[in-house]
Amino acid sequence: MAQADVSIGTTSRRAGPRRRRSYVELTVLSLVAGIGLWWAAVASGMANPVLMPPPGKVLKAIIELTSDGTLAIHIGVSMSRGLGGFVLGTVIGVPLGILIGRSARAHAIIDPWIQLMRPVPPIAVLPLVVLWFGIGETSKLVVVFYGALFPILVNTVHGVRSVENSLIRAARALGASERQIFRLVVLPAAVPSVVTGLRLGAGMAIFVLVAAELLGSTAGLGWLIMDAREHFFTDQIMVGVIALGVVGYTINRGLLLLEHRLVRWRPAQE
């Protein structure tokens, strides 16, 4: 029996690197195929090269904007704005979500306001925020915060309220205090939902950031895209779009890594 367990463990350890290698190979293949279809569409005349520049032209624009530091400046400005609003949404959304999820009274008081404000798109409140805070950095921070807050808040509430009562009753039966139950049972069980909320909030923060940078900005990826549109530099528009995608992908992978480290007890998904 012991030999069988060792064999299973060894097989599982070997399967992990194989799955990761297969995932990387499929990812690279997917990207290459997508770029190939893009190039074929332009080369065959199916797509207008003026409106959709070929990959080579976009790559040249990436090199030019990178070599003179322009792309790094715009990414840095957008990241500082986006991360500021996202961090603020996290600092407020996660503790507030835990409070609402743990307290029926807090849920009854605060949840109606959440359900009232959550369907309102951040773009809809942007004019009001500009009137309140002007067109400076504060208004951009507030709008990004508004966009990131509700996905984080709602998923945190869901994660806390979805903890199985049987786990809590079992912990109480073993003599655990309410603080121990919260720290050892509720929080670990809620982490996956919280991380999901963080991922959704980060995506919404990037989405709102682009709209916020259209007002009173002189730098940022959103401004780069709009400035390129006004000058009809479609290759630079594609550069801005690709940069936003890469930033979003990097943040998402970082949050997935965080989730993996926080909930090592969860079985790996096939």
Check whether residue 32 and residue 108 sit in a common domain: no
> How far is 15 from 18, CA to CA, in rounded Å?
5
Per-residue confidence (pLDDT) for residue 270, from 0 to 100: 43
Check whether residue 200 and residue 157 sit in a common domain: yes
Check whether residue 15 and residue 116 sit in a common domain: no
Give the Å distances, CA to CA, from 263 to 166, 194, 202: 20, 12, 20
Give the Å distances, CA to CA, from 70 to 28, 104, 159, 221, 237: 28, 51, 42, 10, 14
Q: Which residues contact 262 (CB under 8 A, 6 or more apart)?
A: 188, 191, 195
Question: pTM of the predicted model, to two decimals?
Answer: 0.78
Check whether residue 80 and residue 58 sit in a common domain: yes
Strand stretches in 61-181, DSSP E: none
Check whether residue 130 and residue 185 sit in a common domain: yes
Per-residue confidence (pLDDT) for residue 135, from 0 to 100: 80
Assigned domain for 172 exists? yes
Assigned domain for 179 exists? yes
Check whether residue 33 and residue 156 sit in a common domain: no
Check whether residue 124 and residue 171 sit in a common domain: yes
* pLDDT tens for each residue of the chain, 270 residues long: 445 554 545 554 555 677 777 878 888 899 899 999 989 998 888 888 888 888 889 999 999 999 988 899 999 998 888 889 999 999 999 999 999 988 889 999 999 999 999 888 888 888 888 888 888 888 889 999 999 999 999 999 998 888 777 777 787 777 777 788 787 788 888 888 898 899 999 889 888 888 888 776 788 888 898 888 888 899 999 999 999 989 888 888 888 888 777 766 555 444
Per-residue confidence (pLDDT) for residue 62, from 0 to 100: 92
Note whether 250 and 257 are within 8 A (CB): no
Give the Å distances, CA to CA, from 77 to 46, 54, 143, 224, 239: 36, 28, 16, 11, 16
Note whether 150 and 117 are within 8 A (CB): yes
> How far is 105 from 103, CA to CA, in rounded Å?
5
Measure the N-to-C terminal CA separation of the chain; round to a whole number of Å: 26
Check whether residue 184 and residue 72 sit in a common domain: yes
Assigned domain for 11 exists? yes
Check whether residue 39 and residue 100 sit in a common domain: no
Check whether residue 83 and residue 105 sit in a common domain: yes
Domain that holds residue 22: 1-47
Check whether residue 115 and residue 39 sit in a common domain: no
Q: Which residues contact 106 (CB under 8 A, 6 or more apart)?
A: 99, 100
Check whether residue 28 and residue 116 sit in a common domain: no
CB neighbourhood size of 197 (10 A): 29
Per-residue confidence (pLDDT) for residue 215, from 0 to 100: 72
Per-residue confidence (pLDDT) for residue 165, from 0 to 100: 77
> How far is 36 from 55, CA to CA, in rounded Å?
9
Note whether 177 and 185 are within 8 A (CB): no
CATH number at residue 139: 1.10.3720.10
When divided into structural domains, the chain yields a total of 2
Assigned domain for 239 exists? yes
